[in-house]
Amino acid sequence: MYYNIYNTIYYNTEKNMLVEAKQMVPITRLQKELTQTVRKLSDSGKAVYILKNNNMEAVLLSYQEYEHLKTLEEMFEQYEIKKMIETRMKKYNPKNNISWEDIKEEM
């Protein structure tokens, strides 16, 4: 579904993400114009959305944007780990610890 907002045409993806129609490129055109598309991407910093059979297939990002997303992903992962540790520490009871000597005896 396409929308016209302030004279810019947007495409509503399956995930309800609005994408500027001019940033969408069919894969056959991308094959012919790859160098130009990458240069345009580098200059504008805007992602290029690649279509295959009129469906969103992939996204081409600048290297800086990719690095930024990877950093965010790592930060989110560390945040999740921190939350798991905090949850487990609330339930931690040192009285339930098993000594290393007891473990060796069981073997």
The reported pLDDT for the residue numbered 6 is 46
Residue 65, pLDDT above cutoff 80: yes
- Rounded Cα gap, residues 25 and 48, in angstroms: 7
The reported pLDDT for the residue numbered 11 is 55
- Rounded Cα gap, residues 3 and 64, in angstroms: 29
Q: Over the range 1-20, which residues count as b (16 or more CB within 10 Å of their CB) and which as e? A: eeeeeeeeebbeeeeeeebe
Instruction: Give the pLDDT confidence of 23-63 residue by residue, as tens digits.
Output: 888 899 999 999 999 999 989 988 998 988 888 889 999 99
Strands 48-52 and 24-26: parallel
Q: Is the pTM of this model over 0.95?
A: no
Say which residue the tokens 């000597």 belong to.
101
Contact 41, 62 (CB under 8 A): yes
DSSP three-state, residue 8 = strand
